[in-house]
Amino acid sequence: MNQEKVIVIDFGGQYNQLVARRVRECNVYCEIYSYKTDLEQIKAMNPKGIILTGGPNSCYEADSATCSKELFELGIPVLGLCYGAQLMMHVLGGKVEKAPVREYGKTEVVVDTTSPLFQNVSDHTICWMSHFDYISKVADGFRTVAHTADCPVAAAEDQRRNLYAIQFHPEVLHTEEGTKMLRNFVINVCGCAGIWKMDAFVENSVKAIREKVGNGKVLCALSGGVDSSVAAVMMAKAIGDQLTCVFVDHGLLRKNEGDEVEAVFGPDGPYNLNFIRVNAQERFYSKLAGVEEPEKKRKIIGEEFIRVFEEEAKKIGAVDFLVQGTIYPDVVESGLGGESAVIKSHHNVGGLPSCVDFKEIIEPLRDLFKDEVRKAGLELGIPEYLVFRQPFPGPGLGIRIIGEVTAEKVRIVQDADAIYREEVANAGYDKSIGQYFAALTNMRSVGVMGDERTYDYAVALRAVNTIDFMTAEAAEIPFEVLQKVMSRIINEVKGVNRVMYDLTSKPPGTIEFE
């Protein structure tokens, strides 16, 4: 199905997913593999191109992540980025050493526009640099095609062997013409046709699901979020009545959300999903009592989810498959793809208990990035207001309450969040902000209200703009709006006497607090 594929070989760089994301923007299917992947396996995938990512090492040190010389002799075009570029030079006989000055941030790069990589790129262009080492001598056969004031080899090429090396990061949006450069590589150099489109993905997935499931029964975990909704509707389209959707209200949803989900996906809504709602609030709260550590909470919530499904499955008879709305960033960030360190174990991947009572798990969105899931949703005819819903994490408010989760804290964060969302929508910012929510910090502080001393919780407001949820910046919400939210939360939500606005970008922060 994905005959035309580019693979990204991950050396542990923080932007590995972005590289894949940008390649897919060129309508070329792309997957991430660890640098430890066997050369034979790479050959068997028959990729049209290979991209080597950045990474934290120095390629000239003994135990650094590396690749074999043969990788460059397969006749497949290779593009090395940052560490990948240095490694290419190192392995092929060039020289890489510690740079006299570290280059970091937006930097003007002078490029040779006769290089296929820089076709239609301006000859002076702003790029994102982040490196300690630099290429001091290119390998034989290469010529330098870009430089900066401090970096003599910002890019090099060997057109004869189709090998390209770029010291900066074209995948990061700060590199103003980066997407153009990547497009030049995958389309012009690798010769990809760029025909990977969502309608074909949906059609092929529906077909593949039908074949895989046969006459089997399928149980789908529906949370009402974008991912599981798209997964459920895709499954329904593929196998109709063989599907049962179970919606677990774990008591960690936003205010009134359980009823809203039921209204859309339940028997009175437009879909036929055999919808079952399980109200399991108390069960989750008691499991979470006394637990403070975020990863532990995620695991508990994930495991409890599975337990509830097992019980439901037993009630409805034998079930062969369980559907989950896992998406590609979950897979990579859970350390299952590529080389990334485990940042957070997303509950639908990392938290799966070992003894699952189903034959198999189906993850129809496992290969998609978030915005691709939305495109798939539209393709399936799901209304825009659902498809463009802001994401909500599987563990829900469990990871928006820092520290121990209690019913009382859930009530506080639900009420504060409802006020925040209402005011942001009233001010007309709800569609333009990528994700925004209230979280309950674990901090209590002294305040004064009506001449009385208070000792209550601090609520943190978070709002970020992001394209892919891998990097994000705090959204600029007008101060009057924030002030109104603050005053309403303090007045209307018992137990809160302080409201803060989180300015942290990602990185170094994450979007959620835990």
The phi and psi torsions of 285 (rounded to 5 degrees) equal: -60, -40
The Cα 284–Cα 68 span in angstroms is 49
Q: Which of 54, 77, 337, 395 binds ligand XMP (CB under 6 A)?
A: 395
Q: Which is nearer to ligand XMP, 344 or 375 (CB)?
A: 344
Q: Which of 391, 440, 462, 493 binds ligand XMP (CB under 6 A)?
A: 391
Residue 452 annotated among the catalytic residues of the structure: no
Dump strand ranges (E) for 112-167.
124-137, 143-147, 155-158, 163-166
Q: Which of 219, 394, 401, 462 binds ligand XMP (CB under 6 A)?
A: 394
The residues near 200 (Cβ < 8 Å, ≥ 6 apart) are none
* 21 counts as binding ligand XMP under rule CB under 6 A: no
Residue 171 annotated among the catalytic residues of the structure: yes
Q: Which of 48, 254, 344, 374 binds ligand XMP (CB under 6 A)?
A: 344
Q: Which among 351, 376, 372 has a CA at the least distance from the CA of 361?
A: 351
The Cα 282–Cα 406 span in angstroms is 10
Residue 372 annotated among the catalytic residues of the structure: no
Catalytic-labelled residue, pool 82, 151, 220, 245: 82
* 435 counts as binding ligand XMP under rule CB under 6 A: yes
Q: Which of 382, 393, 413, 419 binds ligand XMP (CB under 6 A)?
A: 393
Task: Tell me which residues in 239-298 interact with ligand XMP (CB under 6 A).
Answer: 298
CB of 149 to ligand XMP, least distance (A): 34
Catalytic-labelled residue, pool 4, 31, 171, 514: 171
The Cα 398–Cα 2 span in angstroms is 38
Amino acid of residue 13: G
Q: Which is nearer to ligand XMP, 158 or 339 (CB)?
A: 339
Cis peptide before 100 (omega within 30 of 0): no
Q: Which is nearer to ligand XMP, 96 or 300 (CB)?
A: 300
Catalytic-labelled residue, pool 169, 250, 346, 347: 169
Q: Which of 131, 254, 346, 421 binds ligand XMP (CB under 6 A)?
A: 346
Indicate the burial class of 455 (C-beta count within 10 angstroms; 0-12, 13-18, 19 or more).
Answer: exposed
Q: Which among 421, 504, 492, 499 has a CA at the least distance from the CA of 457?
A: 499
Neighbours of 484 (CB within 10 A): 15
* 347 counts as binding ligand XMP under rule CB under 6 A: yes
CB of 436 to ligand XMP, least distance (A): 11
Candidate segments 55-63, 189-197, 408-416, 504-512, binder of ligand XMP by CB under 6 A: 504-512
The Cα 488–Cα 367 span in angstroms is 42
CB of 469 to ligand XMP, least distance (A): 4
Reduced to 3 states (helix: H, G, I; strand: E, B; else coil), residue 25 is: helix
* 469 counts as binding ligand XMP under rule CB under 6 A: yes
Q: Which is nearer to ligand XMP, 96 or 230 (CB)?
A: 230
Q: Which is nearer to ligand XMP, 74 or 291 (CB)?
A: 291
Q: Which of 137, 283, 307, 506 binds ligand XMP (CB under 6 A)?
A: 506
Residues 60 and 96: beta-carbon distance below 8 Å: yes
User: Within a 13 Å sphere around the CA of 173, how many CA atoms are in the beta-carbon half?
Assistant: 9
Neighbours of 278 (CB within 10 A): 16
The Cα 197–Cα 217 span in angstroms is 29
Give the residues lining the site for ligand XMP (CB under 6 A): 298, 344, 346-348, 391, 393-395, 435, 469, 506, 510-512
Catalytic residues, by residue number, are 82, 169, 171
